[in-house]
Structure 1
Amino acid sequence: MLDLQRTLKTLRNDADWVSLRYVTEKTTLRSVRDEKPDRNNITFDQGVMVEVLVQGHFGFAGTSDLTESGIKRAFAKATAMAKSAAAFRVHEFSADHRPVAQGTYRSPVVKPLDAFSAKEISDIFIEATRAMKTSDKIVSRSATTMITETQFYTISSSGSEVDQSFSIVSTDFSATAAEGSETQTRSDSGGLARCLQVGAEIFDRNTILERCQKISSEAVELLSAENCPDEKMDLLLAPDQMTLQVHESIGHPLEYDRILGDERNYAGWSFVKPNDFGNLKYGSNLMNVTFDPTITDAMASYAFDDTGLKATKEFLIKDGVLLRGLGGLESQARLGLPGVANSRSSSWNRAAIDRMANINLEPGNSKLEDMIASVERGVFMLANKSWSIDDYRNKFQFGCEYAKLIENGKLTKTLKNPNYRGTTVQFWNNLKAVSNVRETYGSPFCGKGEPNQVIRVGHTTPYCLFKDVEVFGA
């Protein structure tokens, strides 16, 4: 029987510091396509990550062998790696970079995930895809959910004991319409699933059916819509698109390991330099961005990161000025800059690295209807369809699923194939209005690191209005 505390006692004298992180994860994937069950898969994974500090350097080794001898073998491997790497270290670390942490975290769940059987979820999704058949022009309909139940239990030789359990549900619904050579798809979240830390309460039949009927009607509507015009104008972005805008042009460039160059061979660098913190006018005075893993129900909420640093809300950008980046204790020590509790690992077989958590654009004071009324000529875009951004997270181009032309303060024509492009700092300095309401989205598929780690991130964003943006059609 697994007894981490007993095993830890046998390892303490052979390293300056050691921790054991036990991770279990059950993932359930259910989907329905065109009123027929499509996938019903359940996977389970578990293992232990052994982390040591030897001669001022950290070493790691993961194992799925949960016997005491298996964990000891992983400990020996981690110790050997730390000793070998210590001769080439770029920074000398100490146990201070792994603070003592004690506490628990549980996702806020109103209704337990087992409150719905597999059949009940399948029946709701069958009805959802049926509801999307609003026209003979609808040629494909899908409903998907990914349910993840995860536990991270960590103990250390310095006295840490952290137990965090997560209940994460992602849902996505989409409808594709076709007529002749024209094909248009409308989804519930633009490829960024509605990802939340919730329970079975997310499977509310009436809410799901209402959303599905709406996106289906809009998919048909897009078939006869005009192409988005090619010109520079005001751009109003909905929260489902702002989510990706924040993720790509704020979250990734502020990661300290990118700024240090650790990710340059894979995920890329950043245009942000260390001396930009406290100085760079990243955006207009309306731009306020926070790192906040304490938000209730957001996808990347937690009490402690995987190094034991307590999670707190911190301003990354305040009144448009860049203040703080996304770096855990190791990166903070290397750069000599303040950071946040964001050293996170994707599972038992990965070391913690600098990752996004909940990166949020704080709401402003504007009402959405007033933002629309203020626009003489512009485009209102919703739901991401495509994206591209350079290795430095500077020049970008995004495409959306659905748009409305704004003329003389009113939403008029529907537009298809809407796109926009820009450069990060100029774009954010053109922010001229932020709504007083916001919505939460997320992604379970943010990739980074070598070996690769796919991790969950969350973003809570309002509606945002930008001036002088280059928009264009397909």
Structure 2
Amino acid sequence: MDLQRTLHTLKGSADWVSLRHVTEKTTYRMVRDEKPDRNVISFDQGVMVEVLVEGHFGFSGTSDLSSAGIKRALDKAILMAKAASSHKVHNFSVDQRPIAKGTYKSPVVKPLDSFSAKEISDIFVDATRAMKVSDKIVSRSATAMIVETHFHTVTSSGSDFEQSFSIVNTDFSATAAAGGETQTRSDSGGLARCLQVGAEVFDRASILERSKKLAEEAVELLSADNCPDTSMDLLLAPDQMTLQVHESIGHPLEYDRILGDERNYAGWSFVKPEDFGHLQYGSKLMNVTFDPTIEDALASYAFDDSGHPATKEFLIHNGLLVRGLGGLESQSRLNLPGVANSRSSSWNRAPIDRMANINLEPGTSKLEDMIASVERGVFMLANKSWSIDDYRNKFQFGCEYGKLIENGKLTKTVKNPNYRGTTVKFWNNLKAVSENRETFGSPYCGKGEPNQVIRVGHTTPYCLFADVEVFGA
């Protein structure tokens, strides 16, 4: 549709108007136990009309893309803004909606349509067949979610920017059972390689190799001892570090949580406005960035939905908290620096403060040296469960697979490895960070009323923590 033409035909009493047109095609492919289980394609599109009236923003989404439909949405957005303006907590202006022009497109080596449904299904059939390493394997699955999304935004102040995203989320899982015991190994605990990529991820050889290893580890866990209940050194793999960063850094640094906007639904934060520039969040080895510029990470983009250009920024530098996750609206309310993270999940949601790519920067340690430095500890991979309180302070995580570290060597496998702690103490016990890191993503981060499920990415290294309480389920 011609958004510029549509915008110029709209008449209303708003000080500023924005149209955001979103189209999204989602394809699911799933094979279970060597049999195709799900092949579904869905398509969604609509327009979000956003206005500024009397110092307040108003929104109205519509799937009626006719001129009359968009005009009705404009009128409703103006009505909503006027109704709310008498209760506003802050007086906004067009400064919170900068002029943005440009394009963004996901990096793609092979176009998504270069693999047919049959070709993907055949690879997944072979993957689940490769998982049948033992009669103890009772369930095997291979899944892909393929998303093609296009955002186009124009505003009355002159913005005109388009962003196209190509996303593939794959997951491979094997469950083993014997004698009343059940263990599952999945490709990184559901946080598998969800990236902005193309069909190049459907590499048969690497998929079959990964799938077989997962199944072998699921069988191995059946006869493993439980993780011991004690306090010791804890080495976390990048796939588990992904969730640790997400829950104990990303969410508590969101400005709308700190302001209290989210406390009714998704919780508040232990972080206070006065903590920025003063709170020693972790050890000096801890460096965390907001970076939507990483090439294939799930939440990379050129502009957030307010038109704010996306740039890499340090959130935590040498362990010191220096910046939070807040878009231009929250920055104005708190009078603190933020980032370009005012994001919406689709055409029918208003943008709010969201994580994007929240990354733990690499250190200088080699993984083998980190292991060799541990006299008594445990190495954990792939998240299985998590719990964290409303303030993002006390947490407990469970992993799928563990290995004891004894006198500098990985020894026996342990099942049901779990650990718990409190955020600031835990991160201040960080004592080594690897020089290499990996990128993971999740398409299912929920927040907001009405709920918005959005895509987030994390690039994380191996991390070693001292004196952590661990236990077996």
Identify the TM-score tier after normalising by the shorter chain: over 0.9
Deviation at 1:12, TM superposition (A): 5.7
Distance in 2, matches of 1:192 and 1:456, equals: 11
**Runs (5+) with no aligned partner, structure 2:** none
Distance in 2, matches of 1:3 and 1:106, equals: 20
TM-score (norm 1): 0.99
Task: Name the aligned partner's letter for residue 84 of structure 2.
Answer: A
Q: Specify the alignment match of 2:384 in structure 1.
A: 385
Q: Specify the alignment match of 1:210 in structure 2.
A: 209
Q: Specify the alignment match of 1:167 in structure 2.
A: 166
Distance in 2, matches of 1:41 and 1:392, equals: 39
Deviation at 1:189, TM superposition (A): 1.2
Distance in 1, matches of 2:2 and 2:276, equals: 45
Q: What secondary structure, in the 3-state scheme, does the structure 2 residue paired with 1:38 have?
A: strand
Q: Specify the alignment match of 2:230 in structure 1.
A: 231
Task: Name the aligned partner's letter for residue 141 of structure 1.
Answer: R
Q: Specify the alignment match of 1:373 in structure 2.
A: 372
Deviation at 1:13, TM superposition (A): 5.5
Q: Is the 8 A contact 2:12 2:74 kept in 1?
A: no
Q: What secondary structure, in the 3-state scheme, does the structure 2 residue paired with 1:72 have?
A: helix
Q: What secondary structure, in the 3-state scheme, does the structure 2 residue paired with 1:194 have?
A: coil
Distance in 2, matches of 1:154 and 1:4, equals: 8
Distance in 2, matches of 1:124 and 1:473, equals: 36
Deviation at 1:15, TM superposition (A): 1.2
Task: Name the aligned partner's letter for residue 348 of structure 2.
Answer: N
Q: Specify the alignment match of 1:124 in structure 2.
A: 123
**Runs (5+) with no aligned partner, structure 1:** none
Mapping of 1:20-419 within 5 angstroms?
A: 20-419=19-418
Alpha-carbon displacement from aligned partner over 1:18-67 (angstroms, at most 9, x marks no partner): 00000000000110000000100110000000000011100000000000
Q: Is the 8 A contact 1:11 1:18 kept in 2?
A: no
Q: What secondary structure, in the 3-state scheme, does the structure 2 residue paired with 1:183 have?
A: strand
Distance in 2, matches of 1:49 and 1:414, equals: 52
Alpha-carbon displacement from aligned partner over 1:80-133 (angstroms, at most 9, x marks no partner): 110111111100000111000000000000000000000000000000000000
Q: What secondary structure, in the 3-state scheme, does the structure 1 residue paired with 2:450 have?
A: coil
Identity of aligned residues (%): 83
Deviation at 1:193, TM superposition (A): 2.6
Deviation at 1:293, TM superposition (A): 0.3
Task: Name the aligned partner's letter for residue 45 of structure 2.
Answer: Q
Q: What secondary structure, in the 3-state scheme, does the structure 2 residue paired with 1:120 have?
A: helix
Q: What secondary structure, in the 3-state scheme, does the structure 1 residue paired with 2:119 have?
A: helix
Alpha-carbon displacement from aligned partner over 1:396-431 (angstroms, at most 9, x marks no partner): 000000000000000000000000000000000000
Distance in 1, matches of 2:340 and 2:384, equals: 31
Q: Is the 8 A contact 2:12 2:75 kept in 1?
A: no
In angstroms, what is the RMSD of aligned CA positions? 0.6
Task: Name the aligned partner's letter for residue 447 of structure 2.
Answer: K
Q: Is the 8 A contact 1:16 1:53 kept in 2?
A: yes
Mapping of 1:440-451 within 5 angstroms?
A: 440-451=439-450
Deviation at 1:374, TM superposition (A): 0.1
Deviation at 1:307, TM superposition (A): 0.2
Distance in 1, matches of 2:194 and 2:158, equals: 34
Distance in 2, matches of 1:368 and 1:156, equals: 50
Q: Is the 8 A contact 2:269 2:392 kept in 1?
A: yes
TM-score (norm 2): 0.99
Deviation at 1:194, TM superposition (A): 1.4
Distance in 2, matches of 1:464 and 1:4, equals: 47
Distance in 2, matches of 1:271 and 1:32, equals: 43
Distance in 2, matches of 1:395 and 1:14, equals: 48
Deviation at 1:7, TM superposition (A): 1.7
Deviation at 1:192, TM superposition (A): 1.3
Distance in 1, matches of 2:5 and 2:298, equals: 33
Distance in 2, matches of 1:12 and 1:263, equals: 34
Distance in 2, matches of 1:264 and 1:13, equals: 35
Distance in 2, matches of 1:7 and 1:397, equals: 51
Distance in 2, matches of 1:14 and 1:120, equals: 54
Q: What secondary structure, in the 3-state scheme, does the structure 2 residue paired with 1:216 have?
A: helix
The count of corresponding residues between Structure 1 and Structure 2 is: 473
Task: Name the aligned partner's letter for residue 233 of structure 1.
Answer: M
Q: Is the 8 A contact 1:113 1:199 kept in 2?
A: yes
Alpha-carbon displacement from aligned partner over 1:307-333 (angstroms, at most 9, x marks no partner): 000000000000000000000000000
Alpha-carbon displacement from aligned partner over 1:287-307 (angstroms, at most 9, x marks no partner): 000000000000000000000
Distance in 1, matches of 2:278 and 2:97, equals: 30
Q: Does 1:469 align with 2:468?
A: yes
Deviation at 1:338, TM superposition (A): 0.3
Distance in 1, matches of 2:331 and 2:439, equals: 29
Q: Specify the alignment match of 1:435 in structure 2.
A: 434
Q: What secondary structure, in the 3-state scheme, does the structure 1 residue paired with 2:194 have?
A: strand
